Amino acid sequence: MVGDIGGPRNAAHGAVDTVPAAGVPSAARPVRVAVVADPRGAYARGLISGITAFGRDHGRWAFTIYHDHLDLALARRARTDRIDGILARILNRKIGQSLTRIGVPIVDMLEEVTIPGVPQIVVDDRAVVRAALDHLLDRGLRHVAFLGLRGVRYTEQRGRHLADLCRERAGSLATYPTGAPRDPLILRCEDNFRSETRESIGRWIESLPKPVGIVACNDVWASMALAACGGRGIDVPEQVAVIGVDDDPVYGQVTDPPLSSVDPDTFTIGYRAAAMLQDLMTGSRTVPPVTLVEPRGVVARRSTDVLAFPDTSVAGLVGYLRDHACEGLTVERLSKKFRMSRRTIERVFAEHLGRSPGEEICRLRLTRVQTLLETTDLDLYQVAQRTGFNYVKSLRRAFKARFGMAPAEYRAQKRSPAARSGRQGRKP
C-alpha cells in the first residue's frame, strides 16, 4: 500500500504530505520518501507517476513533495519530516551536498551536477537526439539546426550529440550544426522569455537555409520557435519543421501547428529511480553510478508533417512506401507501381535517405512492431500479420538483429513497470 499524493499542503515549507491509504495498520510506520521536483512541468509529473506507481507495487510508501527544488532549507525540512530516502532533481551542487548530509539514500533524476555517492538515472540524451534527427531525415530534410539553452548541462549535451550524429549522417545532409563556436545553425538562448529573446529566435530562423528541420532542446523552446515562425509568416512545416523533447501535452496540442516531440518515457525513469532507491535503502543490490533510459520515441504531429524532397516524384515514392510498408510491400511491387526500375529506386533511396528501399521497409515494419509490443496484448503471430512479416521466425530474427533482444524481452522491458501499475496494453 502507498499513500497517494494529494494530501494537505504544508504552507511552512512548500511540501505536499500524503496520508497512508485506508486500511494500512496505524501501528506500522510507512517508508517516508521525499520527491524533490517541481510538479508543474510534464517531465516531473511523469517522474512522479512512475515513482508513486512503484510505491503502490512494492510496499507501504508515504510521499512528501518538495516542489521548490532550489530551497536551501530542504535538508532541514527533510530531517524534520523523518525522511527515509530521497528522489530528487538536483539542480546545483550546494543543494545536493546539503541533502547528502541528512544521511539517507538519494537518487538524482536530473544529472545537472554530479554528487559523490549519489547515483543518477536520466533519459539517454544521445538516443533522444538520434530519434529527433532520424525523424527529420526521414522527411527528406537536408538542413538541420539546433535551438537550446546556454549553460544548462542537458541542453548543451543535446547540442553536442546533434553535431556528432549529423557528422555521421553527413551524406544525407547539406548543412548541419558542427558545434563550432558561433555556429550559425545553433542558437543558444538565455533562460528567459523576454521579447528580445523571441525576436532573436525569429531573426535566427529567418537566416536559416530552407526547408530546415529544427531540433529544440525541449518543448518550451520548440513552442517559441513555432511562435516565431507564425509571427514572421514562415510556413510550418513546409519551410521549417520543428521537433521538441518531453511530449508535454500542453505544447503538443495548443501550439499552432501541434508540436512533434520525443517522448522521454519519464514514467519508466521514475519507476526505475524508485526501484534504485529501494535497493539503496535495503542494501539488496548494488546501484550503478549512472543509468540511462531509452526514450519511447517520436510522437509525430503536424509540425513535422512534411516530405521535403526536392523532386515531387521522390516524395511520392517515399510517401507510398511509408503508407504501405506493413502491407507486404516489396521493392518489386514498388517498381511496378511507379514504373521505375529496381536499380533506379535503390539509387533514389540511397541518395535521399541513405539506405536501401528494402532497409526502409524493414525499419518501418519494426517500428510498428515496437508500437504493438508496447501498447497491445497481441501475440507474435498477430503482430507479424499486422506488420507485413510472413513468418514469426522472420520477425524475431529481424527484431533481434536491429534491437539486440527478442520481441518478448523487449515487451517485458518496456511494459512491466506500466503493466504492474495498471497501465495495461490495449488492443487496437
Could you report the per-residue pLDDT of 142-170, keeping only the tens digit for each? 999 999 998 889 999 999 999 999 999 88
Judge if 107 and 13 occupy the same domain. Answer: yes
- % the chain with pLDDT above 70: 88
Q: Rounded to an integer, what distance in angstroms lies between the CA atom of residue 150 and that of residue 147?
A: 10
391 Cβ contact list (under 8 Å, min separation 6): 384
Q: What is the mean pLDDT of residues 315-320?
A: 80
Q: What is the mean pLDDT of residues 389-417?
A: 86
Sheet containing 290-293: give its strands across. 9-10, 15-17, 61-66, 31-36, 85-88, 106-108, 120-123, 290-293
Q: What is the mean pLDDT of residues 112-129?
A: 95
CB 75 within 8 A of CB 31: no
Q: What is the mean pLDDT of residues 110-129?
A: 94
Tell whether 380 is covered by a domain.
yes
The predicted model scores a pTM of 0.76
Judge if 90 and 160 occupy the same domain. Answer: no
More confident residue, 69 or 142: 142
Lowest pLDDT segment from 112-126, 241-255, 305-319:
305-319
The pLDDT value recorded for residue 244 is 97
Q: Which amino acid is at 408?
A: A
What CATH number is associated with residue 233? Answer: 3.40.50.2300
The pLDDT value recorded for residue 20 is 38
Lowest pLDDT segment from 11-20, 69-78, 340-349, 365-374:
11-20
CB 12 within 8 A of CB 21: no
Phi, psi of 122 (to 5 degrees): -145, 170
Q: Rounded to an integer, what distance in angstroms lies between the CA atom of residue 404 and that of residue 376?
A: 21
Residues forming a β-bridge with 9: 16
Judge if 95 and 204 occupy the same domain. Answer: no
Judge if 151 and 254 occupy the same domain. Answer: yes
Judge if 185 and 76 occupy the same domain. Answer: no
> Does 78 have pLDDT greater than 60?
yes
Tell whether 275 is covered by a domain.
no
The pLDDT value recorded for residue 316 is 79
Residue 10, C-alpha cell as written in the block: 504544508
Judge if 95 and 65 occupy the same domain. Answer: yes
More confident residue, 392 or 194: 392
Tell whether 278 is covered by a domain.
no
Overall number of domains in the chain: 3
Tell whether 276 is covered by a domain.
no
Tell whether 280 is covered by a domain.
no
The DSSP code for 3 is P
Judge if 108 and 176 occupy the same domain. Answer: no
From the list 308, 160, 301, 126, the residue with the least C-alpha distance to 219 is 301
Condensed to tens digits (0 to 9), the pLDDT of residues 348-391 reads 888 777 778 898 899 889 988 988 988 888 999 999 999 999 99
Judge if 59 and 143 occupy the same domain. Answer: no
What is the CB neighbour count within 10 angstroms for residue 380? 20
Q: What is the mean pLDDT of residues 222-247?
A: 93
The pLDDT value recorded for residue 288 is 94
Tell whether 241 is covered by a domain.
yes
What is the CB neighbour count within 10 angstroms for residue 330? 12
Q: Rounded to an integer, what distance in angstroms lies between the CA atom of residue 275 and that of residue 61?
A: 12
> Does 272 have pLDDT greater than 90?
yes
Q: Whose grid coordinates read 500500500? A: 1
Residue that terminates a domain, selected from 78, 102, 118 = 118
Largest CA distance in the chain: 78
Residue that terminates a domain, selected from 84, 118, 152 = 118
Range of the domain at 332: 312-420
Which long-range contacts link 400-405 to residues 24+ away (Cβ below 8 Å)?
Answer: 402/362, 402/363, 402/366, 403/366, 403/370
The pLDDT value recorded for residue 308 is 67
Q: What is the mean pLDDT of residues 279-308?
A: 90
Phi-psi group of 189: left, alpha or beta (phi > 0 → left; psi -120 to 50 → alpha; rest → beta): beta
Q: How confident is the model at residue 21 (pLDDT cuts 50, 70, 90)?
A: very low
What is the CB neighbour count within 10 angstroms for residue 170? 10
237 Cβ contact list (under 8 Å, min separation 6): 257, 302, 303, 304, 305, 306
Mean pLDDT across the chain: 85
Q: What is the mean pLDDT of residues 226-233?
A: 92
Q: What is the mean pLDDT of residues 120-137?
A: 96
Q: What is the mean pLDDT of residues 340-351?
A: 86
The pLDDT value recorded for residue 68 is 77
**Cα-based angle 58, 62, 64 (whole degrees, multiple of 5):** 130
181 Cβ contact list (under 8 Å, min separation 6): none
Judge if 110 and 203 occupy the same domain. Answer: no
More confident residue, 328 or 125: 125
Judge if 107 and 152 occupy the same domain. Answer: no
> Does 346 have pLDDT greater than 60?
yes
168 Cβ contact list (under 8 Å, min separation 6): none
